[in-house]
Amino acid sequence: MLCVSNLLFAQNEHQIVVPMGGNAYTSVSNDRTITRNGIVNWNSSDIVYKVYVRLTQPGELKIALDKVANVIGNSQLSVGINNKFQTVELIEGKDVPTQVGSWKIKDTGYVAITIKGLKKAAEKFPDIGGLVLSGSAITTKTSYVKNNEGNFFHWGRRGPSVHLNYQLPAQTEAEWFYNELTVPKNEDVIGSYFMANGFGEGYFGIQVNSATERRVLFSVWSPFTTDNPKDIPDSHKILMLKKGKDVHTGEFGNEGSGGQSYLKYNWKAGNTYKFLLRVAPNSNIKDSTTTYTAYFFAPELNEWQLIASFKRPKTQTYLKRPHSFLENFIPAYGAHSRKVLFNNQWVYDTKGNWISLNTARFTTDNTGNVNYRKDYAGGLDGDSFYLMNGGFFNHFTPAKTMFSRKETNQKPQIDFSKLP
């Protein structure tokens, strides 16, 4: 009876295949061995892989290798969780072992599966397409990037983007949008976009583009929907009206298309930066355009700087959908956590009133909504809103949660007539 019971359990337990292409990372920043087909051209034992899955219950976790190819001679790999490693031998001409090992998982949350290369007979270790996971710790709610449909290996490895949607009072004609942003020290991870002033037609914030370059970025989408800016007809192109000193302007694509501007500026983690956006429809209703102008205040310079001013055709609007977001735009850095604080949100309406935006709705993108990644959070941190993503932390904030920060009454002190 015991044997039958064990057999039934084995047949009924869940088994998943975790593709390397959407779930594996290395500490090598320029590594190119993780592809949509898995780990390929792995030639150095210095490259160590980590594969992340989020478990919803403790229990036994059994691991096997999936889609192993190009086995030459005798190779040895080491697979481990929490510093408990098992060695697996891959021998040319022999079947791949059906199981590497079994681990006892004592808690829920993210588990990092580490893969190391110990010995290879040729120039490269074998290619690995994925991992087969089974055991009582695996359920239908285990979170991982399941497949590459919709280019999810790219989006999944980037990690979930997160947003704060500020609640604009009804019937408000908001012409100016003001926000303050602080990236805490050590949270300025490469590939991060800390977006302060989002609006219905674009976005404005700061980036970490590399170890040596940082930018202030302001973009406006064209009303013509395409990912290729060359497809935009002249009647739908974003027109650059003016730009600030040393600001680069041009076009962008791949996530919609339109006009882009950026200033290379070495902003610093721990300092608070101010963002001001004007959204002004043309007063001549026959000229259906709206002008978007972005200003940036750095405490190191102690003055407002013009980033750029763009005119958008086929548009007559004041500020719509004020929001902030946090994203990672480099997939290799999706295993790093990042956090940002948003401190003091206001709009200035057409009647001359400053209105505080102290309530926000937290959301995540489709990577989080389909439960491929659960390392996303947002809400209140002291008197500020915050957003956090990446790094496979275990707590998460349910999407659509509403948060309200304390009213500070710290109205922006801005003389609009003196802006550049």
For 349-393, the pLDDT digits (tens) are 999 999 999 999 999 999 999 999 999 999 999 999 999 999 999
pLDDT at site 338: 98
Q: Pick 199 or 8 by higher pLDDT.
A: 199
Mean pLDDT value across the chain: 93
pLDDT at site 175: 98
**pLDDT (tens digit per residue) in 64-113:** 999 999 999 999 999 999 999 999 999 999 999 999 999 999 999 999 99
**pLDDT (tens digit per residue) in 296-350:** 999 999 999 999 999 999 999 999 999 999 999 999 999 999 999 999 999 999 9
pLDDT at site 107: 96
Residue 3 reports pLDDT greater than 80: no
Residue 1 reports pLDDT greater than 50: no
Instruction: Give CA separation, 313 vs 257, 288, 374, in Å.
Output: 14, 6, 39
Kindly report the pTM of this predicted structure: 0.93
What percent of the chain is predicted at pLDDT more than 90? Answer: 88
What CATH class is the domain 11-144? mainly beta
Grade residue 9 by pLDDT with cuts at 50, 70 and 90. Answer: very low
pLDDT at site 255: 61
Residue 229 reports pLDDT greater than 80: no
**pLDDT (tens digit per residue) in 142-191:** 999 999 999 999 999 999 999 999 999 999 999 999 999 999 999 999 99
In degrees, to the nearest 5, what angle opens at C-alpha 135 toward C-alphas 132 and 140? 80
**pLDDT (tens digit per residue) in 239-284:** 999 999 999 998 666 666 788 999 999 999 999 999 999 999 998 7
Grade residue 4 by pLDDT with cuts at 50, 70 and 90. Answer: very low
pLDDT at site 283: 80
Residues 391/398, Cβ–Cβ less than 8 Å? no
pLDDT at site 235: 86
Domain ranges, ordered by start, for the chain: 11-144, 157-418
